[in-house]
Structure 1
Amino acid sequence: MPLHARPPDQAAWERGEGGRRPYHLSYLQERIDLAAARRFVLTGSNNFSLLQAITQSLAGRVGIARLLPLTIQEMRSARPGPADLDDLLWRGSYPGCLVRRADPRDFFASYVETYVERDVRMIINLHDLGRFRRFVSLCASRIGQLINLASLATDAGVSQPTARSWLDALEASYLVLRVAPYHRNFGKRLVRTPKLYFCDTGLAAWLLGIADPSQLALHPLRGALFENGVVVDIVKHRWNHGNLRPPYFWRDSNGREVDLILDDGPRLLGIGIKSGATFAGDWEHGLATWRETVGERNSERPVVIWGGADSGPRSHSYALAWDRIDRLPETLAPRSA
């Protein structure tokens, strides 16, 4: 297409529809090739069609930044921010719910109908929308758990290959996140059962039918929602700083578990996640067992991210308040055994 033939529709780009109009990307390709110093920022929520068009038209000319909802650090500067921990878990971290104070029940109903179902249809042949919605809700009821595809498929009334395909689609649309187990043999990380999390606790809470933050106080999945929120917030921080290395978890044959393992350097970091507001000494037991297994020379002092307000060293770990996850790197300096 000649450079002057059809300039892009600026209004379409502002609506986030650039990826749906191929001539826009062809126009940008020629502009970029003619002036290497020229810079463009393309944004949009339509992940699948935009990425497909970019890989076809702008291969080798672009860098892709994956932006999940707001981090807790970013929420602290938002006005208004979350009222408290339960409000955060219920409302989630999408700017629409947090800053514009949209009712999460209306926001997520529209989000699922207009974004998730539309975009998911682009990558899978979705015939039974009702079963797919049930499948997504079943996933929400299993946050923080090992993924059991057979159980998911049975409860949703679909085959295991269909359940696997749907789960892949949810992850590709940044709706869910899978965390693999950590093993000394790297290959085993890819074949053992991962755990399931949602990329936003507000969406998970809505799918669970939690209508008000006050319901979370005694809800059986409050701890799972808290764990989900912490895991995803750590992933957000890593992605925002260009660190795409995945986190892991650890569990031995006796059921002792470390919620998160970060493998970023010569020493591993084990993280326990507890929603309680009163620190309990037995929270450190699994972390201590794990550190004995991997060796103190190979691991940092473990961290417990908890639902309380205080941060500081404990007997076998460092306690970090839930709203200070951005300070996680500071707990590693100076390094201590």
Structure 2
Amino acid sequence: MARQAAVALIGPRQVGKTTLAHKIAEIRPSIYLDLESSADRDKLSDPVLFLNRHTEKLVVLDEIHRVPALFESLRGIIDAGRREGHRTGRFLILGSATIDLLRQSGESLAGRITYVDLTPLTVDEVDADNLEQLWLRGGFPDSFLAVTDSDSLELRESFIRTYLERDVPMFGPRIPAETLRRLWTMLAHNQGALLNASRLASGLSVSAPTVTSYIDLLVDLLLVRRLQPFYANVGKRLVKSPKTYVRDSGLTHALLNIETFDDLLGHPVSGPSWENFVIENLITAAPSRAQASFYRTAAGAEIDLLLELGGQQGTWAVEIKRSLVAKPQRGFYQAVEDLQPAKAFVVHAGEDRYPISESVEAVGLREMTELLLGTRAKSG
């Protein structure tokens, strides 16, 4: 719940509606409205009349992107409630975090809303022995908790199809679902590669600007991450193209029809997928104002992830290795020498933590996540 605003807007993690309603009911009296349900939408035919009857309850509005016009009514309801002493935590809004939705909420509820980015499950939220399952299936709870790998894959395939055929057309200009799926799959195959819009466009028989606009949409929908290169005056020729990643590892594997962990280990995307899995977990664990990028020079010096944490924490450099042996390449040491980060780590697939050199330390993913969560606590 928002402490300093009347509304909290949360997205995009998929949580069972019944479970969510029960959890909220345990905290305080509440009312839950699923705006995909015509019956619940009908209750809001006169939103002022209906919502003013529940001023003492937390009102949960799920799938808010189905009724974006509701934001205008909420503004007046919130302001009227403030005059009567009902200032904070009145509404919890759930929905896909799209540009249009964020713009509309920001314009209508400026100063009245707090945003919470509810990411998929991360390594600090699951048992240590479930890390491989989390990597394989991704962080959407229903997928992660499925009885079998086959059931999990089927859920993710259904999500992809539904998103492309039903949800995406609501959020942007009409894009052929098959074209967008092909692009999404191409990005999955090229997980962590430098973005080459012209090459992707050639494979889709569309223009490079069209591909760029499609990727913009996938980024806005939090389905793809475009990791920007780090710029610094270090007297070196720096790579200027961003890297792209399909953010949820489970969706990556579903797009590539990878069902089991053995299938994943034998697939060429295994290494890049692990890199993305680590990056998403570390960015999620870092303080909210941290800046994430990568560093690469034309001569081969490279850092997979740079986290500018700010304040006394400075910048952390992270190299990512899928193997149990944390042995960075020469280019990583050269990059560390170029940038002189406050700390440098090699995140590996094991759990041990030990020094590799005077300036570089090996650490497992879970412990690295805990280190970053600690910096978040220090930054307030």
TM-score, with structure 1 as normaliser: 0.83
1:258 maps to 2:310: no
Matched with 1:43 is: 93
Deviations 1:227-270 (A, max 9, x none): 000111112123xx5x1433011111122211011122363211
d(CA) in 2 for partners of 1:104, 1:200:
14
Answer whether contact 1:146 1:193 (CA < 8 A) is retained.
Answer: yes
Shift in alpha-carbon separation, 1:30–1:307, aligned structure 2, 3 A: same
Shift in alpha-carbon separation, 1:293–1:18, aligned structure 2, 3 A: closer
> Letter of the aligned partner of 1:67 in structure 2?
L
1:279 maps to 2:330: no
> Letter of the aligned partner of 1:69 in structure 2?
P
Shift in alpha-carbon separation, 1:91–1:285, aligned structure 2, 3 A: same
Matched with 1:304 is: 346
d(CA) in 2 for partners of 1:244, 1:104:
33
> Letter of the aligned partner of 2:88 in structure 1?
R
Say which SS state the counterpart of residue 145 (structure 1) adopts. Answer: coil
d(CA) in 2 for partners of 1:301, 1:3:
53
d(CA) in 2 for partners of 1:214, 1:311:
27
Say which SS state the counterpart of residue 290 (structure 2) adopts. Answer: coil
Deviations 1:168-216 (A, max 9, x none): 0000000011111112159x9x992101112210100111121211112
Q: How does 1:1-337 map to 2 (within 5 A)?
A: 4-7=48-51, 16-22=62-68, 24-36=70-82, 37-48=87-98, 50-76=101-127, 83-85=130-132, 87-101=133-147, 103-185=151-233, 192-238=240-286, 241=287, 243-265=288-310, 267-280=314-327, 283=328, 285-295=330-340, 299-315=341-357, 316-329=359-372
Say which SS state the counterpart of residue 97 (structure 1) adopts. Answer: helix
CA positional deviation for 1:100: 4.6
CA positional deviation for 1:4: 4.9
Say which SS state the counterpart of residue 74 (structure 2) adopts. Answer: helix
d(CA) in 1 for partners of 2:189, 2:308:
28
Say which SS state the counterpart of residue 111 (structure 2) adopts. Answer: coil
CA positional deviation for 1:309: 2.2
Deviations 1:134-170 (A, max 9, x none): 1110011111110110111111221111101100000
> Letter of the aligned partner of 1:312 in structure 2?
Y
d(CA) in 1 for partners of 2:168, 2:373:
39
Deviations 1:57-87 (A, max 9, x none): 32331121112101110123xxxx86452x3
> Letter of the aligned partner of 1:261 in structure 2?
L
Say which SS state the counterpart of residue 240 (structure 2) adopts. Answer: coil
Say which SS state the counterpart of residue 7 (structure 1) adopts. Answer: helix
Moved more, 315-324 or 146-155: 315-324
Shift in alpha-carbon separation, 1:279–1:127, aligned structure 2, 3 A: closer
Say which SS state the counterpart of residue 121 (structure 1) adopts. Answer: helix
TM-score, with structure 2 as normaliser: 0.74
> Letter of the aligned partner of 2:316 in structure 1?
L
Say which SS state the counterpart of residue 247 (structure 1) adopts. Answer: strand
Say which SS state the counterpart of residue 346 (structure 2) adopts. Answer: strand
Could you list the runs of 5+ residues in structure 2 that have no partner in the other structure?
Answer: 1-44, 376-380
Higher strand proportion: 2
> Letter of the aligned partner of 1:177 in structure 2?
R
d(CA) in 1 for partners of 2:362, 2:273:
19
Shift in alpha-carbon separation, 1:122–1:21, aligned structure 2, 3 A: closer
Shift in alpha-carbon separation, 1:331–1:270, aligned structure 2, 3 A: farther
CA positional deviation for 1:290: 1.5
Moved more, 310-319 or 88-97: 310-319
Deviations 1:93-129 (A, max 9, x none): 1111123547222111121122344332234323422
Number of aligned residue pairs: 316
CA positional deviation for 1:52: 4.6
Please give the root-mean-square deviation of Cα atoms over the aligned residues, in Å. Answer: 3.1
CA positional deviation for 1:307: 0.9
> Letter of the aligned partner of 1:25 in structure 2?
F
Answer whether contact 1:25 1:57 (CA < 8 A) is retained.
Answer: yes
Say which SS state the counterpart of residue 343 (structure 2) adopts. Answer: coil
CA positional deviation for 1:24: 4.0
d(CA) in 2 for partners of 1:95, 1:331:
25
CA positional deviation for 1:3: 7.7
Shift in alpha-carbon separation, 1:307–1:200, aligned structure 2, 3 A: same
> Letter of the aligned partner of 2:194 in structure 1?
L
- Could you tell me the percent identity over the aligned residues? 29
Answer whether contact 2:60 2:91 (CA < 8 A) is retained.
Answer: no
Shift in alpha-carbon separation, 1:9–1:90, aligned structure 2, 3 A: farther
d(CA) in 2 for partners of 1:323, 1:136:
29
CA positional deviation for 1:8: 8.2
d(CA) in 1 for partners of 2:134, 2:300:
30
Say which SS state the counterpart of residue 47 (structure 1) adopts. Answer: coil
Deviations 1:253-291 (A, max 9, x none): 1222110111223632111000002233xx153332122
